[in-house]
Amino acid sequence: MEEYLAKLNPEQLKAATHVDGPLFVVAGAGTGKTRTLTTRVAYLIKVAGIPADNILAVTFTNKAAREMKERIVHMAGPYATGVWIYTFHSLASQILRKDIEVLELGYKKTFNIADEDDAKSIIRDIIKKQNLDHKRYKVNDIRNKISDFKCFSQDRFDDTYEKLVYQNYQKELVDNNLLDFDDLQIYLHKLLLEHEDVRRYYQEKFQYILVDEFQDTDHIQYEIIKLLAGIKKNIFVVGDPDQSIYGFRGANYENANHFRRDFGGEQVLNMNYRSTPEILDFANRLISHNINRPVKKNLTTEQEPGFEPLVWNAQSDRGEATMIANEINRLVKDLGYSYQDIAILYRNNALSRTFEDTLMKMNIPYVMYGGLSFYQRKEIKDILAYIRLLVNPHLDFYFKRVINVPKRAIGPTTVTKLETLAKSLGLSMFQAIDYLDVTGKTKESLDGFKKLILEMQERMLTMENLDEIVMYVAYHTSYLLMLEEEKDDISQDRIDNIKELKSVFVQGEEFYEGTLVEKLTQLLDQIALYTDLDQKLDKDAVVLSTFHQVKGLEFKVVFMTVMEEGIFPSPLSTYDSRELEEERRIAYVGVTRARERLYLSRADERLLYGNYIRPLASRFLKEMQPMKEKFTRPVYEQSSSRPSEHYLKAGDKVSHIVFGEGIVVNIESDIATIAFKLPHGIKKILENHPSLKKIG
């Protein structure tokens, strides 16, 4: 045990060897919180002599639980396998398996757990059985309302029908001996609160309780911890209130203050082992602007000085992406970094498209961490499938994708019959609609779909610009209405992605020539190059991600992008100080992901959701570097190459998918003047357009 204790700094050692009484370890980013927590468990077993099965450690992911147990067993030996290490939901399942019947709710110990898809399927069936309008009574919306009612006693049901769905849903769960995720925590809390004998048993059993990622706990989880701790109060929690960024999931930022009030006892880990002093200065200055901080800390490090974080601005969003891609090439080719050392972070998934396009164009490998590629997202593929049908209704692949999206009462059996008939007649499925022997609602729905496509096709032919198409299709197919009626965070994200797809078409209008159908066909072909290729998920690849998804990870190089007011921080947060402080914590998480190099970028002009905007610089930039008033273009230390913001330069030979080969005459802003062979001649083209590539 001595060898493991010797690896800890004085702050960590004091926390790890703390035995009796409460302790809140405020562990800043990169301060070794997991090492401290696991060493303490091993210390309790090996030195304090606490039986392993009298120790409970709770964390938030099964992966983290497994890794913690492996570390503890490695330090304390096989006997340590008896430690209870679970997520909150797994802990609830373990205890309810033994004692749920005392609640007299109709459940048996042999209950099963319904995942989110199961829960939504039950709700969907109830809506159908109650003959409710599925367009008005949306599954996701009602599921969220049920969760709020169960967890927070918030009655957000719009009418008695929605409440009846909830009542029937709960009855269905009990009748089938099913618990959903909410039930697991709710019933564990109810069991501990209302049954003293059960509460005393577990208070006696769990003599020492440890909680990892404490800043992510919700109000029920905190109450469960409080009940289990009992009068002994041997509770040890580790977390960083400055990294509390999951308020939208129910995490209660005030739990840190509740713990200080209910238990007291705290220690701060300030020594950071991840980032350079310069990066930590940015992080400390940023988070100091949050007023509501239960514990104020200032991260320090013994690392040697490194590189000052760079705050860059580009003329446009495309310029920003090109600037970053050029720097990535320099980091890899000249400075010895690997692609996997680098992360590009943004506030929401809709912002990834420009970076994806540019990395693809410059042959820089990348992976989407915790999310899909922009062009692989369901809503994007659905809208593009509709547009392809407007160009050619006889494409069966795209026909099958959208025939019942949104729902049109055209089930898989009907689709199969239609496909079989079409093949036998040698027709497309679109043509075969007229010959399928069906009646009633199915016939009406099929005819309605065909009429819809033909009407939209006719309307599209009267359009003058590509930028009209995306939103027209999204509205007239009722796809946007479908998403709007779901009324949840995911559906709003999907709506934003569709709006961002409009940006692709706006750019296409600036570039392609010919009739609208000719321009549209060229654009769809180019997009197909992105979606149809089998992308190799090489491990040595740049990571693209939202800030939320990389919490807990670290990279040698981090690009924090689109640092602009109205995007980051979000517009809604400017009206609510609590929301603004959470936005600032999200930015703080981004800064503290960086180990060696940090870049913060913005653009003077951005094409977002189909509109050009000129956003102001994010207030967070000023907060991080208050002594500087200007944001600069890239300034590089000496290396074998000095990339510019531009992808092309005068004299470069290029190839274009329509105009063939040409020579760059001039670059002004992000517009390249190119001389192509006759009959095309001189063209002005966006230098970062995906159809243009440098050759030779």
The mean pLDDT of 314-323, rounded to a whole number, is 91
Q: Does the pLDDT at position 420 exceed 60? A: yes
Gyration radius of the chain over CA positions: 29
Q: How far apart are CA 300 and CA 552, in angstroms?
A: 19
Nearest to residue 56, comparing CAs of 78, 18, 82? 82
The mean pLDDT of 657-665, rounded to a whole number, is 85
Q: Does the pLDDT at position 643 exceed 70? A: no
Least confident span in 31-45, 310-324, 471-485, 519-533 = 519-533
Instruction: For 219-254, write each residue's pLDDT tens digit.
Output: 999 999 999 999 889 999 999 999 998 887 788 999
The mean pLDDT of 118-146, rounded to a whole number, is 89
Starting at the edge strand found earlier in the chain, the sheet holding 660-668 runs 682-686, 671-676, 660-668, 653-656, 692-695
Q: Does the pLDDT at position 349 exceed 90? A: no
pLDDT of amino acid 372: 62
Question: Alpha carbon of 295 to those of 256, 272, 288, 301, 620: distances in Å?
Answer: 9, 17, 11, 19, 21
pLDDT of amino acid 122: 87
Cα first-last separation, the chain: 62
Strand pairing category for 366-368 and 542-546: parallel
Q: Does the pLDDT at position 536 exceed 50? A: no
Nearest to residue 318, comparing CAs of 361, 272, 278? 361
Please enumerate in sequence order all residues whose Cβ is within 8 A of that of 73, keeping only pairs 6 or more positions apart, or say none. Answer: 80, 81
The mean pLDDT of 404-412, rounded to a whole number, is 91
Residues 270, 243 contacting (CB under 8 angstroms): no
Mean pLDDT of the chain: 88
Sign of CA dihedral 141, 145, 148, 150: negative
Q: How far apart are CA 144 and CA 247, in angstroms?
A: 15
Q: Does the pLDDT at position 537 exceed 50? A: no
Strand residue runs (E) in 30-160:
55-59, 84-87, 112-114
Q: Does the pLDDT at position 156 exceed 50? A: yes
Q: Cα angle vertex 597, ends 596, 603, to 5°?
A: 165
Residue with tokens 């706006």: 506
Please, is 628 exposed, middle or buried when counting C-beta atoms within 10 Å of its C-beta (0-12, 13-18, 19+)? exposed
Name the pTM for this structure.
0.77
Burial 171-186 (b: 16+ CB within 10 A, else e): ebbeeeebbbbbbbbb
The mean pLDDT of 265-284, rounded to a whole number, is 93
Instruction: For 103-121, write each residue's pLDDT tens digit.
Output: 999 998 878 788 777 788 8
Strand pairing category for 594-608 and 555-560: parallel
pLDDT of amino acid 631: 57
The mean pLDDT of 500-506, rounded to a whole number, is 89
Q: Does the pLDDT at position 520 exceed 90? A: no
Q: Would you tell me how many other CB atoms lie within 10 Å of the CB of residue 110?
A: 8
pLDDT of amino acid 645: 60
Element (H, E) at 682: strand 682-686
Report which listed range, 81-90, 544-553, 554-563, 630-639, is most confident.
Answer: 554-563
Nearest to residue 172, comparing CAs of 162, 161, 164? 164
Q: How far apart are CA 500 and CA 688, in angstroms?
A: 18
Give Dmax (Cα) for the chain: 90
Nearest to residue 13, comparing CAs of 30, 28, 35? 35
Strand pairing category for 671-676 and 611-613: unpaired
DSSP label of 228: H
pLDDT of amino acid 299: 94
Residue with tokens 């040697």: 304
Q: Does the pLDDT at position 274 exceed 90? A: yes
Q: Which residues are catalytic?
A: 33-34, 212-213, 243, 593
pLDDT of amino acid 690: 59
pLDDT of amino acid 535: 39
Q: What SS3 class is residue 312?
A: strand
pLDDT of amino acid 461: 87
- The percentage of residues in the chain with a pLDDT greater than 90, rounded to a whole number, is 57
Instruction: For 431-462, write each residue's pLDDT tens digit.
Output: 999 999 888 899 999 999 999 999 999 999 88
pLDDT bin (cut points 50, 70, 90) of residue 293 is very high
Q: Does the pLDDT at position 533 exceed 90? A: no
pLDDT bin (cut points 50, 70, 90) of residue 403 is very high
